[in-house]
Amino acid sequence: MKLTSNQVTKFLFASEGIGAVFVSIFIAAYLLGLPSTEVRHSEPIFRTALSIFGILFVILVLVTLLISFYIKKNKE
């Protein structure tokens, strides 16, 4: 499996984008409750979005690790 620099760049941007969406939703869930101590991450809309983007982010991180190990192994 040969990956071009362009393919790797697109994959990494996708991973970073999913991570940024996840962190944005997570921060919004905490900041929308201010100035009280209420945290909204248990509401269904936030919980669902965090679950979806969190799972996607973990999968992309694991795939990135596997690809990096594969590429490193093939270079040796």
**CA 65 vs CA 3, 19, 61: distances in Å:** 14, 15, 6
pTM: 0.77
Looking at residue 36, its amino acid is S
Q: What is the full per-residue pLDDT of the chain (76 aa) written as tens digits?
A: 677 888 888 988 999 999 999 999 989 888 887 777 777 778 888 889 999 999 999 999 999 899 888 888 877 6
Judge contact between 15 and 61, C-beta under 8 A: yes
